[in-house]
Structure 1
């Protein structure tokens, strides 16, 4: 195992530095923005900007890498990500932060795709699963550590803007000095909604509304926690515990979905998330421990939905099209991620913090109703015909290259029309 990991250790380090910086940057903005008096709608637009940039990065990075190469492209991404967070400290206004956050999303997606393509190139079939698992764990640990760093200082200073800029720059080093051969061109995604819908309506409908819910919570969870009076340390835990819980919950939920209709499992998980939504909306808990426990349960539910949906879509997809299906659904998730923070942010203006969970509850309710309708109208896939459930990082941290790393080599081709 050590011999398999050693050749990719530099790339894993670069990814960890990237995710560590992203963890700090993603949490300091809503905390500092709230302290500066930004409206909830403005803070929601930060998430919309980031998602828009992230989708654009997934689509535009492959041709950029094709023109100037992997190392130069990665250098540009890391440099501009550092610039974006530093300029955010100079201009403490939503008008500056929203486009800067979009730039961050673009750079983050591009840098992640390049690292993942390098890892995929170095992973042989026998070690691919272990390398993907280690890559996922490293990123989860780095992102969580970045968020928890905010408990060590004053968010009103400049430290938590300087730190992510430093680590974005440090992420340049492993790829710059890597002796690994330049990998193959990055996988390109061509979004064909009609083909995706024919393949699995539940997947398309569900992944869009999961994108709305997950991105709204990922962007505004810290704002909600701050509004109910949690200390900075508790705010960081409120934002990070759900991601950790979601990572751990995927193992038992994935095992269950491999043995029964995945749509039934999806409905059960969505009902759990909806129940937590209603607790936050109706009971409005105030105790720190209760809020943290609920946030963990919420994360265990919402962050397990995406891999269930991807597995269900691949159950119906023609053989050899897993990368195209997963890449297309990732783009649909991205569209939902653009809408989610914006809708939730504007909802928090009339409804207060509960507006976040009202938005999430509506998304989960619609998903449940549509999934139940499809269960009645389409038979479940036989167990022997099911694709393999692959645990995934939080979807907003995935790129089309993540699927290539997880399941095999990618090709630049359109999603088949039938499925």
Structure 2
């Protein structure tokens, strides 16, 4: 296995450097913004800006790569990401940070797509699953490490703006120095609501709700933790523990969803997330330990829902449509990610910290009610017809290329999915 991983080791290193920088960047902005007196509404708009940029990056990057090539495109993405971080240090106002955060989202999506397309090209069919698993672990570990680094220094200075910029620049080295052949064109997707709805209504509503909830928490969790008086170490843990817990919880929840109606499992997980929402709203706990336990429980629920939804959608899709379904739902998740931080930010501005969890509670209630309605209207998929559950990183760190790497469908028909028809399964959930 070591021999098989050597050809992709440089790409994994580049991805780790990218996610390490991204982890620092994503946490320093809300923490520093709160220290500078930025309003919760403006900090929520940082998440909206990121999501807008990320969706635009997923859409536009394939065209950019087609014009200038993989290496040049990756260099542009990494370079502009570093510039965005440094400008955030020089221009300490929320109204400059929002477009700069959109620039970061665009660059991050583009760079991730290029790395993932390279991994897809290099991975052999016999090792693709292990490489995808290792890639997911590397990204999770690097992103978490980047967030936890903030506990080692002073967040009021320039250090945690300069360090991410350095690591963004270092991330372009492995691809720039690679002598291997360039991969095939990147996967391109577009948002086709009608096709996605025909394939699975639950997936459409579910991924929108999850986008609202997850992006709101991902953007403003540090603001909430800082607002209730947690120390910087606890703030970093409050933001990173949920992601780790979500990665672990996908194993038993995925096993369960492969054996039961995925919609019922989704309802159960959403109910667990809603229970945590209500505890945060009703009790407003101030205990450091209780907040960390609750945040981990919350993350175990919210970050396990997206892969359940993707698996459910693929249960109804034709075998050659996995990439276009997953890519289209990712774009829809991006729409939810644009709305979530915006609603939560204004909610926190008017209602305090409870506004964050009221936003996610509303999304979880809608998801539970709609999935329950669909269970009453349509029978579940036969177990023999189910697609395999594929554990996934937090959807915000995914691109259409992630689906390609996970599924292994990189033939010419799957490489361009814009004109692919959608499933019209009448029993779609």
Contact preservation (8 Å) 1:213, 1:360: yes
Looking at structure 2, the residues matched to 377 and 259 of structure 1 have their Cα atoms a distance apart, in angstroms, of 20
Q: SS of 1:260's equivalent?
A: coil
SS in 2 for 1:126: coil
* Alpha-carbon offset, residue 392 of structure 1: 0.1
Q: Deviations over 1:190-234 (max 9, x none)?
A: 211001001000000000010000000000000000000000000
Q: How does 1:20-419 map to 2 (within 5 A)?
A: 20-408=20-408, 409=410, 410-413=414-417, 414-419=419-424
Task: Please say if residues 192 and 415 of structure 1, whose CA atoms lie closer than 8 Å, have aligned partners that are also in contact.
Answer: no
What stretches of structure 2 of length at least 5 have no aligned partner? 425-429
Consecutive unaligned residues of structure 1, counting only runs of 5 or more, are: none
Asked if the contact 1:190/1:415 (under 8 Å) is kept, the reply is no
C-alpha displacement of 1:330: 0.3
Taking the aligned partners of 2:315 and 2:385, their CA distance within structure 1 comes to: 7
Partner SS for 1:285: coil
For normalisation by structure 2, the TM-score amounts to: 0.97
Q: Residue 185 of structure 2: SS of its match in structure 1?
A: coil
Deviations 1:157-212 (A, max 9, x none): 00000000000000011001112210000000021100100100000000001000
CA contact (8 A) 2:246 2:300 kept: yes
Instruction: Classify the secondary structure of the residue corresponding to 1:417.
Output: coil
Large movers: runs of 4+ above 4 Å: none
| CA RMSD in angstroms, aligned pairs only | 0.6
**Retained in 2: the 8 A contact 1:195–1:415?**
no
The answer to whether the 8 A contact 1:273-1:301 is kept is yes
- Aligned partner of residue 321 in structure 1, secondary structure: helix
Confirm or deny: 8 A CA contact 1:89 1:158 kept in the other structure.
Answer: yes
Contact preservation (8 Å) 2:15, 2:139? yes
Judged with a 3 Å threshold, the aligned counterparts in structure 2 of structure 1 residues 227 and 169 are, in CA distance, closer, same or farther, namely same
Equivalent in the alignment of 2:427: none
Give the corresponding residue for 1:17: 17
- Shift of residue 350, structure 1, vs aligned partner: 1.1
Shift of 1:358: 0.2
> Does the residue aligned with 1:157 lie in a helix, a strand or coil?
coil
Q: Distance in 1 between matches of 2:74 and 2:363?
A: 36
Q: State the alpha-carbon separation in 2 of the partners of residues 289 and 160 from structure 1.
A: 26
In 2, the alpha carbon distance for the partners of 1:391 and 1:101 equals 28
Normalised by the length of structure 1, the TM-score is: 0.99
Shift of 1:124: 1.1
The question of whether the paired residues in 2 share the 8 Å contact of 1:151 and 1:233 is answered with yes
The total of aligned residue pairs comes to: 419
In 1: Cα distance, 2:74 partner to 2:102 partner:
17
User: CA offsets per residue over residues 243-272 of structure 1, 9 Å max, x none?
Assistant: 000000000000000000000000000000
Does the Cα contact within 8 Å between 2:321 and 2:422 map onto a contact in 1? no
Report the Cα offset of residue 416 of structure 1: 1.5
How far residue 36 of structure 1 moved from its aligned partner, in angstroms, is 0.2
Secondary structure of 1:135's partner? helix
Measured in 2, the distance between the counterparts of 1:309 and 1:255 equals 14
The answer to whether the 8 Å contact 2:317/2:422 transfers is no
The Cα shift of 1:411 comes to 2.0
Deviations 1:72-92 (A, max 9, x none): 000000000000000000000
> Is the 1:323–1:404 Cα contact (8 Å) retained in structure 2?
yes
d(CA) in 2 for partners of 1:78, 1:157: 23
Deviation at 1:281, TM superposition (A): 0.1
In structure 2, distance between residues paired with 1:217 and 1:38: 18
